[in-house]
Structure 1
Amino acid sequence: MQITAQTVKELRERTGAGMMECKKALTENAGDIDTAAEWLRKQGLAKADKKASRVAAEGRIAMAQHAGKAVLVEINSETDFVAKDDNFVAFCSAVAQAALKSDAGDIEALKAVRLGNGESVEEARAAVIAKVGENVQVRRLARSDSAHTVAAYVHGARIGVLVELKGGSEELARGIAMHVAAMNPPYNKASDVPAAFVAKEKEIELAKMAEKDKSKPAAILEKIISGKIAKIVNENTLYGQPYVLNTEQTVEAALKAAG
C-alpha cells in the first residue's frame, strides 16, 4: 500500500523516531499507525539491549523538589553531546518529577514508575536510546522525604546536592547546598573526622617542623601543631569552612544564627 507523507509525519510526531524509521515501520505494518508505533517501540527495546554494554559516563543530574520532599537523579549518556540533547534533557526532567511523586527508594523501583505520558521510566529510556542512538542509563537516585527543611541544588549538570536542615529556611538550605557544591567538604563537623586522619596530619606537621623549629620548647611546638591541625580540620568540615555566601562567618555560625 502507499505510505503518505502525512502518515509518516503523524508517526514521527507521535514517536519522535526518524523519517526513514517511521516509513519502514508503516511499510512493515500495512500503514497502520498504532501498530507501527508499537513496532517502533519494540525496535527501541531491541536497540537498548544492543547498546547496554557500551559505557555511559557522561550525562546529567536532574532535580525535583516540593514541600518537604526533594530528589536527585543521575542519568548517563555516552557523550556530552547527547547529554545536551533536548530529548535527553526532557527525559531527565520527567524522571526526576516522577521520582519525586513516587516512593521509589532505589533505581530498580524507579524503573517501574510511570511518567506523565503513561510509559514506565524503563520504557521511556528505551525510547530515548532509539532517538539519540546512544546507551542511556538511569544510574543513581537520592531523595529526602522529611518534615524538615530540604533543598536540592544542581551546579551545571554534573554536581548535585541534597540538604536537610532541622529548622532554618529553604533559602538557607539552598545556600548550604550551594556551599557543598562549591567546597565539597568530606566531613560534616569536627567530631566526624576520623582519628586516623588527624593522627596522619599531626605526623606530617611534626615532620615539617622537625628541623625548622627544633629549638622551640615541646610545649610551644605542641601548641603550634594543635593550631595547625584545628585549621586543617576546619578546612575539611562543613561546619568549619567559611560560608561561601558570607565568608565573614563559618557555616556553623550561619546555622546558629538561623536557629
Structure 2
Amino acid sequence: MTITATMVKDLRESTGAGMMDAKKALVETNGDMEAAVDWLRTKGLAKAAKKADRIAAEGLVGVAVAGGRGVAVEINSETDFVGKNADFQTLARGITEAALGVADVDALKAADLGGKTVETALSSAIAIIGENMTLRRMASVQGEAVASYVHNAAADGLGKIGVLVAVNGADNGIAKQIAMHIAATNPLALSEADLDPVVLERELAVQTAKALEENAASAKPKPDAVIQNNIIPGRMKKFVAESTLMGQAFVMNPDITVEQAAKDAGVTVVGFVRMACGEGIEKEKEDFAAEVAKTLKG
C-alpha cells in the first residue's frame, strides 16, 4: 500500500510521534492507522493512547434534566457562527427539552416542537439560516437524582461538552462535582465491568508486546513469570483505573478515587453521559478568512 504524506501527518497528529517513526509505523502495518497507533505504543513512541475523539464539527450539545432523567442532545452546524446564533440556540434548547419525553433520536425527530415535528423545525431553520444542520444523536441517564454540567457554555444548558451523572442516594452536590470531573477526564466506562472487551483485549496485546520487548532489550532481563504474572497485570490494572470513572483519581481530591468520593457522600453512581460536539467527526479544515467568505456566499 502507498503511504501518503497525509497519512503520516494524521498519524503524527494523533500520537505525537516523529515523522520518520510515523512513516515506519505505517509501513510496518501496511497503512492500517489503528494498527500503526498500537505499533508506536508498543515501541513507546506514541504520546497518547488515543485521539479518536478529535473535535472537528461545529454546533452545540444541549442537556436537560427532569426528575430522575437527564438527556443530552447534539445538533451540528457547518460553522461556529451558527452555534452562537440566538435562533439556533433557541431551537437547540427546544429540541433538548423535547428529548426528555422520548427514548431515542428517531423518536426525537418525530416529536412535537411548537406544532411541528423536530425534523420539520430543523429543516425550516436550515432554510432560514442558510446552513446545513443535523440532529446527530441523543443519550440519557436515569437515577434517583441526575446532575448536569456544560463545559464551554454558549448559553444555559448549551455548550461544546455536556455531561450527565445519575446517582442513587441523596445528592448533596457530589453529582455535579463528578460531572465536572468527567468533562475533564473523559472516562471510557463507569467501571471495569462496563469496559468494551475489545478495548481490553487490544490494550492487553499492546502492553504484552511492550513489556516483552522492553525485557528483551534490558541488560538484566526478568524471568518470564515476572513479566506475565506481575508487570503485565500491573499495567492492565493501571489502565483500568485510569480509563474507568470509578477507578480514576477524583479531580477535586486526587488522594481518593471517584468511587470513594461517591461512597463518602452517601451516593452510588449508576450512569453517566459525556457528549462532546463533533466527537468522532472529521471535517475539512478551513482558515478563518475562508470560513467567513463561505458564510457570506450563503
TM-score range for the pair, normalised by the shorter chain length: 0.5 to 0.7
* Alpha-carbon distance in structure 2 between the residues aligned to 1:158 and 1:86: 16
Q: Is the 8 A contact 1:202 1:229 kept in 2?
A: no
Q: Do structure 1's residue 109 and structure 2's residue 116 form an aligned pair? A: no
Shift of 1:257: 1.4
Q: Radius of gyration: which is bigger?
A: 1
Q: Is the 8 A contact 1:78 1:134 kept in 2?
A: yes
* Alpha-carbon distance in structure 1 between the residues aligned to 2:120 and 2:232: 59
Flag the structure with more relative contact order, 1 or 2, with Cα contacts below 8 A and sequence separation at least 6: 2
Q: Is the 8 A contact 2:207 2:232 kept in 1?
A: no
Q: Give the number of equivalent residue pairs.
A: 200
Q: 1:178-215 CA deviation, whole Å, 9 max, x = no partner?
A: 22221111132234443523343233223223322634
Q: Do structure 1's residue 209 and structure 2's residue 215 form an aligned pair? A: yes
> Equivalent residue for 2:189?
187
Q: 1:33-64 CA deviation, whole Å, 9 max, x = no partner?
A: xxxxxxxxxxxxxxxxxxxxxxx942111111
Query: If each structure's helix is expressed as a fraction of its own residues, which one has the higher value?
Result: 1
List gaps (5 residues or longer) in structure 2. 1-55, 153-158, 267-298
Q: Is the 8 A contact 1:63 1:71 kept in 2?
A: yes
* Alpha-carbon distance in structure 2 between the residues aligned to 1:249 and 1:206: 32
Shift of 1:252: 1.7
* Alpha-carbon distance in structure 2 between the residues aligned to 1:148 and 1:154: 21
Counterpart selection for 2:146 from 143, 147, 150: 150
Query: Could you say if the C-alpha distance between residues 219 and 126 of structure 1 is closer, same or farther in structure 2, counting changes exceeding 3 Å?
Result: closer
Shift of 1:153: 2.6
Q: Is the 8 A contact 2:207 2:236 kept in 1?
A: yes
Report sequence identity in percent: 44
Q: 1:6-34 CA deviation, whole Å, 9 max, x = no partner?
A: xxxxxxxxxxxxxxxxxxxxxxxxxxxxx
* Alpha-carbon distance in structure 2 between the residues aligned to 1:206 and 1:258: 43
Which amino acid in structure 2 is aligned with residue 134 of structure 1? E
Q: Do structure 1's residue 126 and structure 2's residue 123 form an aligned pair? A: yes
* Alpha-carbon distance in structure 2 between the residues aligned to 1:99 and 1:191: 29
Secondary structure of the structure 2 residue equivalent to 1:254: helix
* Alpha-carbon distance in structure 2 between the residues aligned to 1:170 and 1:64: 19
Query: Could you say if the C-alpha distance between residues 190 and 213 of structure 1 is closer, same or farther in structure 2, counting changes exceeding 3 Å?
Result: farther
Secondary structure of the structure 1 residue equivalent to 2:116: coil
Query: CA RMSD for the aligned pairs?
Result: 2.5
Query: Could you say if the C-alpha distance between residues 98 and 233 of structure 1 is closer, same or farther in structure 2, counting changes exceeding 3 Å?
Result: closer
List gaps (5 residues or longer) in structure 1. 1-55
Which amino acid in structure 2 is aligned with residue 71 of structure 1? V
